[in-house]
Amino acid sequence: MIVLGIEASCDETAAAVVSDAGGRRILANLVHAQLAEHAPYGGVVPEIAARAHLEKLPPLIAAALDTADIRFAELDGVAFTGGPGLIGGLIVGAMTAKAIALVHGTPLIAVNHLEGHALTVRLTAEVAFPYLLLLVSGGHCQLLVVEDVGRYRRLGTTIDDAVGEAFDKAAKLLGLGYPGGPLIERAAAAGDPARFPLPRPMKGRPGCDFSFSGLKTAVRQAVSEIADEAGRLAPRDVADLAAAVEAAIGDCLVDRTAHAIALFRDRHPAGRSLVVAGGVAANAALRARLAGLAAASGLAFIAPPQALCTDNAAMIAWAGLERLRLGLTDDLAFAPRPRWPLDPEAAPAIGAGVKA
C-alpha cells in the first residue's frame, strides 16, 4: 500500500508518503516548521498557525508526491490528523484530505495524532504488540499500553502541564527563546544540575500520573532570586538552572515510568519493549536515562529517530496505513476533534490542562 499523510494539528505543516511494498519505506517526508512565525510570541498562536497551514499545505503535498514520484491515482489512502490539536489547523488538514479523497476516489483515514506517535516506532523497527509507551511532547505526557492498532490503555497522564510545556516555560524564564526543549538541552550540557534544588513533583507517590506546574513555579522563583536589577541572568546561572530543570524532569519521568513498567509487566508478561515517542523524546539526556531504566527492568528500549519524534506527516501516513490494512476508514462526515483521547475509558485527570 501507498498512503499520503497530512499533519496540521499544531505549528508544523507536513506532508509525507509511506509504503509497505518491499518493507516499510518513507518515500517523502516534508515539514514546514512555523518557528519564525511564533517565536516573537514565545509560543504557538492558533490563528497564525491555521493561516500558515492554509498557505503551505497544498504546495507541500505537491512536493511530497513529486519527491516520492507518486501520482494521486496511485495512492491507496489519504490519512490526516483528525485530532487532538488546534481546531483551525485540524480543519485545514481535514478539508484538504477530504478534497483529495473526493476528487480521486481514495479511501480517507482520520488518524489520532497520539496514535501517530504511538505507532511511529513500528515504521522504523520491528516492535510487536503489546508495548509500553511513554509519550512526551509539548502538549502530551502520558504512559500507555499499546495493545494493538486502535487499542490503548492509559496508565498515567499529567494532572496539569505537559513536560514540553514545562521546557518551553523554563526556557522563556531563562531568556533562551522558543522552542524550549532543544535550547534547555544545549544550555544544560555546560551546567551543574546540583546547584539548584528544584522539586520533583509526584516522585515517590503511587500511580503513574505526572505534574509539572510546581516545577515551573520553582524555576520562576529561582530566577527572581538571582537575576540582576534588569532581570538578566549570568551565563553560569542559565547553564546551571537549565541543567537542574533537565535533571528534575528526568527524575520525574524515570520515577513515573518505573511504576508503569511494574503495572505493564504484571498485566502483559509477554510485553518486551519500552517505547518513548514525542518531541521531548529527542532529548539525548532523557533518552539515556530511560534507556538505563529499561535495561534495568529487562525491557528493550526503543525510540524513533529524532527526526520522527517531533510532529511529522510520516507518522500520520504510517498510522493510516496500519488502519487501512484493517479496513478502518472514515467518510466525509468526519469532524475534526480538538480533544480525542486514545483511551476513551480512562478517567479524566483532575485539573488536566493538556490536549487529550
CATH of the domain at 219: 3.30.420.40
Report yes or no on 51 lying in a domain. yes
- The whole-number pLDDT of residue 85 equals 92
Query: In terms of domains, do 28 and 104 share one?
Result: yes
Residues 90 and 95: their CA atoms lie apart, in Å, by 8
Query: In terms of domains, do 199 and 159 share one?
Result: yes
- The whole-number pLDDT of residue 350 equals 57
Query: In terms of domains, do 157 and 286 share one?
Result: yes
Domain of residue 115 covers 2-121+307-325
Residues 311 and 138: their CA atoms lie apart, in Å, by 10
- The whole-number pLDDT of residue 46 equals 83
Report yes or no on 356 lying in a domain. no
Q: One digit per residue, pLDDT tens: the chain, 356 residues? A: 999 999 999 888 999 999 999 899 999 999 998 777 777 777 788 888 899 899 999 999 999 999 999 999 999 999 999 999 999 999 999 999 999 999 999 999 999 999 999 999 999 999 999 999 999 987 889 999 999 999 999 999 999 999 999 999 999 999 998 889 999 999 999 999 999 999 999 999 999 999 999 999 999 999 999 999 888 999 999 999 999 999 999 999 999 999 999 999 999 999 999 999 988 888 999 999 999 999 999 999 999 998 899 899 999 999 999 999 999 999 999 999 999 999 999 877 655 444 44
Query: In terms of domains, do 160 and 236 share one?
Result: yes
Report yes or no on 354 lying in a domain. no
CB 355 within 8 A of CB 139: yes
Report yes or no on 180 lying in a domain. yes
Query: In terms of domains, do 229 and 135 share one?
Result: yes
CB 47 within 8 A of CB 87: no
Report yes or no on 112 lying in a domain. yes
The total number of structural domains in the chain stands at 2
Query: In terms of domains, do 296 and 159 share one?
Result: yes
Report yes or no on 285 lying in a domain. yes
Residues 221 and 298: their CA atoms lie apart, in Å, by 40
Query: In terms of domains, do 67 and 34 share one?
Result: yes
Report yes or no on 343 lying in a domain. no
Query: In terms of domains, do 152 and 284 share one?
Result: yes
Which grid cell sits at 93?
488538514
Which grid cell sits at 332?
466525509
- The whole-number pLDDT of residue 352 equals 45
- The whole-number pLDDT of residue 134 equals 97
Query: In terms of domains, do 146 and 284 share one?
Result: yes
- The whole-number pLDDT of residue 33 equals 83
Report yes or no on 347 lying in a domain. no
Query: In terms of domains, do 300 and 212 share one?
Result: yes
Query: In terms of domains, do 312 and 300 share one?
Result: no
CB 305 within 8 A of CB 124: yes
CB 96 within 8 A of CB 110: no
CB 302 within 8 A of CB 274: yes
Amino acid at 72: F
Query: In terms of domains, do 274 and 192 share one?
Result: yes
